[in-house]
Structure 1
Amino acid sequence: MASELEQEATTVLYLNESTNISTTVASLCNSLKCYMVLSTPEKKAIGSICFLAGPVTFLENILVLVVIASSATLRGRPSYLFISSLALADAFASCFFTVSFLNFHLYSKDDGADNYLFKLGGVTMAFTGSVGSLLLTALDRYLCIYQASNYKVLLTCTRAKLAIVLLWCVTIIISFLPLMGWRCTTWLDPPCSRLFPYVDHHYLACWTGLQLVVLFLITVAYALILLKANRHEAAMSGPKCGRSSIKGQARMRMDIQLARTFSLILLILAVCWLPVLSFMMVDVMVTLTDKQQRMFAFCSTLCLVNSCVNPLLYALRCRDLRRELLALFKCCMACREHTLGNTYSIRNEKSLGKKSKDQAVSDSNPDTVSESVDHQQNSIQIS
């Protein structure tokens, strides 16, 4: 009887231990199904946002890059070099984020740890480069206002290009650290993130902290810029005379406009990024529920919306970029009219070629006159 009671107690203890182990495994969430928590209506909503914002974001940022690349004036200014870096990062974000997000959350596609971490690294690289480019832009505006006399000496195009290259090198290294080995593979390792599979809590905490520090530095820089700009605007509001004062007022107004433009970009960046970063910090400290994971999925689409809004701010508020954009459109229209004119002249030549040899010889002078008229019409259209 005693042996039977001992066997029953051992069986109950074994079952309890098995239940605890299974519960622990479930809580650590080693299966990818724990991350695919969206319902069918939520998938449709997020899919609509990505399908609309992704291509629009890509085309807008590519247009910004084309305008800056086609203008020698804009390429020679560090401010627009940093804007081009931001546009490049946003273009990458539209590609990597849309493909990775839709494949995982909408189509529930499991590509394996390495493929998933490669796609996630691309998304991390794009958004880290975007925030880093905004930091460079803020520093550029800070030097332009606080070091106006030495601005061109302190920040040359060569130094701006080196800063952009250094930024992207550091960004690539940081973004692909999980792919290089800093990952969480099994439930025996420290608990993984409930937001991203295979991502260790320590890496997520480091990356989130870095983004918060960068956002803080950008906020401080723009606060100082606006403070200095407002003081100069108040000082120059009184009656002034002389050509130097007029030039100083024009330059300060341009600096104020640019400062306010980038401050608006910073405000939109904070609205789009603070919810995401908040969820990441909470994920490091506690275990998120399915409802919180679904809320994070919707908040993460705000980052894509931010990349979509940035080019619109440049086109609406940056006068030089808008002027170059109009010039590019006019050039494209002129090329189109030139192409149509050449097509029209070729058709006339083919129709004239159908005449007989005798008529062509007898009407040689009129043919020459008609061709000259066609050329004149084409030149008038081009001009």
Structure 2
Amino acid sequence: MAELIQSENATNTSFFEDSSKNGSFIREGYLDLTLFGKIFAGIDLFFAPWIIFGNTLILIAVYFEHKLHTIPNAFIASLAVADLLVGLVTIPLYVVFYLKLPNVEKNKYLCLFRTSMALYSCGSSLLNLLLMSFDRYLAVIYPLRYHALMTPKRAKNALIVLWVFITVVSFVPLTGWNAWKDGSVCDLYAVLAREHIYFSVHFLVLCCLTLTTILYSRIFYVAHSHRKQIQASSKLNAAATRRREREFKSAKVMSLILLLFVLFWLPYLTCGILKIFKSLTWDVVEVSKSFALCLSLSNSMVNPIVYSLLKKDFRKVFQNFLFSWFRCCTVCRTTNTRHVVNISEDSSTTEFSMCLRKSSSVF
């Protein structure tokens, strides 16, 4: 095993060293990395506003709408925070590197911060999905004991532990534990310590996905058995049956969120094996990884769409908020027009204030 790890380290080192020697290996390729960098920067900049808008809308809905003040929605809000950070921090950092701004590639701490944010984005989302699957497991398997098992205090503590853990794991390279060398290519596999890669990229991701899959498999098995019991007997409590069906529908939505996460992130997580193929030049590997990363980051835009389509409570709040916001904007434009034609300021201000009061009453 030790020999295998040493061999892999040697392969990685030689691969990235060859790619950084005066750019000679890059010139041997066939792809214009500057052009592709601008393309990927444009794609990410297109995604960023939608990611910010969608996840901000989720946080606003959960915060202001009293009916959404539930433990499962607290976990949804936590996932929205992770996705929001992608649009606010992770994507701008990658855009800076894609555009190859002066002295960016040689900046050690900016490179490590970009790499840490990629781990932070993926890791926090994955741990939130694991926590959400565990919450749905308790709700479906132990419906009568759910509120005793998952109390608000326990949910809060679980979220605190989650964010502290992933923050430490993701940003420990900035404290000195890294493999950065002068002239290193700013790549996760080149600048992070090998043990850190094994734990954060391989072990942590594999464990989270395995546990989450087991939990959802158990949920679907129990839900299927419950439906067979309903068909065989009419003596089951109708209220309990409706509650279980509601929890199962919520679990299906969360399992879809997990499936989409895997589909969007799996290409990037497996891109590390591309360096094994000697026939692939460095520029081909870089373009492939950048394309896979754009796909992965776009996953942060998908969750609000899923909630608006499949979760009735969120859909209603989204519709009410957007409708009220549109009305306020319309009244604001009308107010400005009235000022131009010398309509009294008092009446226009009153009308706009009424719009704001109606908008706030939605929540």
Shared fold, TM over 0.5: yes
The structure 1 residue matched to 2:112, chosen from 111, 117, 120, is: 117
Are 1:277 and 2:272 an aligned pair?
no
Sort the Cα spacing of 1:340 and 1:95 in 2 relative to 1 into closer, same or farther, 3 A.
Answer: closer
1:130 is matched with 125
Question: What pairs up with 1:312-323 in 2 under 5 angstroms?
Answer: 312-323=305-316
Sort the Cα spacing of 1:99 and 1:347 in 2 relative to 1 into closer, same or farther, 3 A.
Answer: closer
2:171 is matched with 176
Q: Which moved more, 1:108-117 or 1:48-57?
A: 108-117
Contact 1:265 1:310 in 2 (8 A): yes
Are 1:70 and 2:91 an aligned pair?
no
Q: Which moved more, 1:97-106 or 1:63-72?
A: 97-106
Contact 1:30 1:186 in 2 (8 A): no
2:194 is matched with 201
Sort the Cα spacing of 1:179 and 1:31 in 2 relative to 1 into closer, same or farther, 3 A.
Answer: farther
**SS in structure 2 opposite 1:148?**
coil
Q: CA deviation at 1:38?
A: 5.6
Are 1:297 and 2:290 an aligned pair?
yes
TM-score where L is the length of structure 2: 0.78
How far apart, CA to CA, are the structure 2 residues paired with 1:225 and 1:50? Answer: 36
- 1:110 aligned partner, one-letter code: N
Sort the Cα spacing of 1:176 and 1:152 in 2 relative to 1 into closer, same or farther, 3 A.
Answer: same
Q: After superposition, what is the alpha-carbon deviation per residue over 1:194-233, rounded to whole angstroms, capped at 9, x for unaligned?
A: 5555222322222112112111111111111111112212
**SS in structure 1 opposite 2:180?**
coil
Sort the Cα spacing of 1:223 and 1:192 in 2 relative to 1 into closer, same or farther, 3 A.
Answer: farther
The structure 2 residue matched to 1:247, chosen from 239, 250, 260, is: 239
Question: What pairs up with 1:50-69 in 2 under 5 angstroms?
Answer: 50-69=44-63
How large is the Cα RMSD of the aligned pairs?
3.9
Alignment gaps of 5+ in structure 2: 1-12
- 1:254 aligned partner, one-letter code: R
How far apart, CA to CA, are the structure 2 residues paired with 1:96 and 1:32? Answer: 31
1:362 is matched with none
How far apart, CA to CA, are the structure 2 residues paired with 1:222 and 1:308? Answer: 23
TM-score where L is the length of structure 1: 0.74
Are 1:104 and 2:97 an aligned pair?
yes
Contact 1:79 1:137 in 2 (8 A): yes
The structure 1 residue matched to 2:212, chosen from 218, 224, 229, is: 218
1:231 is matched with 225
Q: CA deviation at 1:119?
A: 2.8
- 1:65 aligned partner, one-letter code: L
How far apart, CA to CA, are the structure 1 residues paired with 2:192 and 2:207? Answer: 21
Q: CA deviation at 1:133?
A: 0.7
**SS in structure 2 opposite 1:236?**
helix
Contact 2:143 2:244 in 1 (8 A): no
**SS in structure 2 opposite 1:93?**
helix
Alignment gaps of 5+ in structure 1: 1-22, 354-370
Sort the Cα spacing of 1:341 and 1:136 in 2 relative to 1 into closer, same or farther, 3 A.
Answer: same
Contact 2:260 2:299 in 1 (8 A): yes
Sort the Cα spacing of 1:339 and 1:168 in 2 relative to 1 into closer, same or farther, 3 A.
Answer: same
Q: Which moved more, 1:193-202 or 1:34-43?
A: 34-43
Give runs of ≥4 in structure 1 deviating > 3 Å: 23-38, 108-111, 191-197, 280-283, 285-289, 329-353
- 1:155 aligned partner, one-letter code: M
How far apart, CA to CA, are the structure 1 residues paired with 2:341 and 2:151? Answer: 54
Determine what percentage of the aligned residue pairs are the same residue.
Answer: 24
Name the larger-Rg structure.
Answer: 1
Q: CA deviation at 1:164?
A: 1.0
Sort the Cα spacing of 1:156 and 1:43 in 2 relative to 1 into closer, same or farther, 3 A.
Answer: same
How far apart, CA to CA, are the structure 2 residues paired with 1:231 and 1:282? Answer: 44
Higher relative contact order, structure no. (Cα contacts within 8 Å, ≥ 6 residues apart): 2
How far apart, CA to CA, are the structure 2 residues paired with 1:41 and 1:346? Answer: 49
1:4 is matched with none
How far apart, CA to CA, are the structure 1 residues paired with 2:333 and 2:169? Answer: 51
- 2:39 aligned partner, one-letter code: A
How far apart, CA to CA, are the structure 1 residues paired with 2:171 and 2:312? Answer: 38
Sort the Cα spacing of 1:100 and 1:235 in 2 relative to 1 into closer, same or farther, 3 A.
Answer: same
Sort the Cα spacing of 1:277 and 1:349 in 2 relative to 1 into closer, same or farther, 3 A.
Answer: closer
The structure 2 residue matched to 1:90, chosen from 83, 89, 92, is: 83
Contact 1:316 1:322 in 2 (8 A): yes
Q: CA deviation at 1:246?
A: 2.4
